[in-house]
């Protein structure tokens, strides 16, 4: 009799846990599209609000003023696994002159920095030093 009760309780708990797991998984998959879209819109807004700092970061070290224009590819914004987010762009209307920026919040302040760029831009920045 006691074994039968334990078996029924075990089966009941198993079904309950399985149901909770499946419901959580479905909600996680279903909610991801909405959440990531809102995140993407938020990241773009933050980046646009800090475009001046982004421009300064791209132009840093370009003492000879080779960089005339900067184009940001807003659709490339994505969350950085280490925190913050990343964004691609290019200079002087030439996609081969690419820049990739990282935007992060440090001590309640937004920081923008170039984490990689084309070799040509790197050379321009090194000439100015």
Instruction: Indicate the domain borders of the chain.
Output: 37-127
What percentage of the chain's residues is helix, strand, coil (to nearest 5)? 50, 30, 20
Q: Are 110 and 50 in contact (CB under 8 A)?
A: yes
pLDDT of residue 82: 81
Distance between CA atoms of residues 29 and 59, nearest Å = 41
Does residue 73 carry a pLDDT above 90?
yes
Distance between CA atoms of residues 87 and 90, nearest Å = 10
CA distances from 14 to 10, 27, 53 (A): 6, 20, 54
pLDDT of residue 44: 92
Q: Looking at domain 37-127, which CATH architecture does it have?
A: Roll (3.10)
pLDDT in tens, 17-56: 666 667 665 555 444 444 445 688 989 999 999 999 999 9
pLDDT of residue 61: 87
pLDDT of residue 59: 92
pLDDT in tens, 76-127: 999 988 888 999 999 999 999 999 999 988 888 888 988 888 999 888 877 6
Q: Are 47 and 110 in contact (CB under 8 A)?
A: no
Distance between CA atoms of residues 60 and 80, nearest Å = 23
Distance between CA atoms of residues 50 and 58, nearest Å = 13
């Amino acid at each position: 009799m006691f074994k039968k009760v334990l078996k029924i309780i075990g089966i009941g708990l198993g079904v309950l846990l399985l149901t909770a797991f499946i419901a959580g998984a479905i909600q996680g998959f279903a909610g991801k599209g909405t959440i990531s879209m809102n995140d993407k819109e938020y990241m773009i807004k933050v980046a646009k609000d800090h475009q001046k700092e982004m421009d300064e970061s791209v132009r840093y070290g370009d003492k000879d003023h080779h960089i005339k224009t900067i184009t940001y590819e807003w659709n490339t914004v994505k969350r950085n696994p280490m925190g913050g987010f990343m964004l691609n762009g290019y200079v002087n209307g030439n996609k081969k002159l690419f820049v990739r920026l990282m935007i992060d919040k440090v001590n309640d302040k937004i920081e923008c920095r170039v984490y990689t760029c084309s070799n040509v831009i790197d050379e321009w920045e090194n000439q100015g030093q």
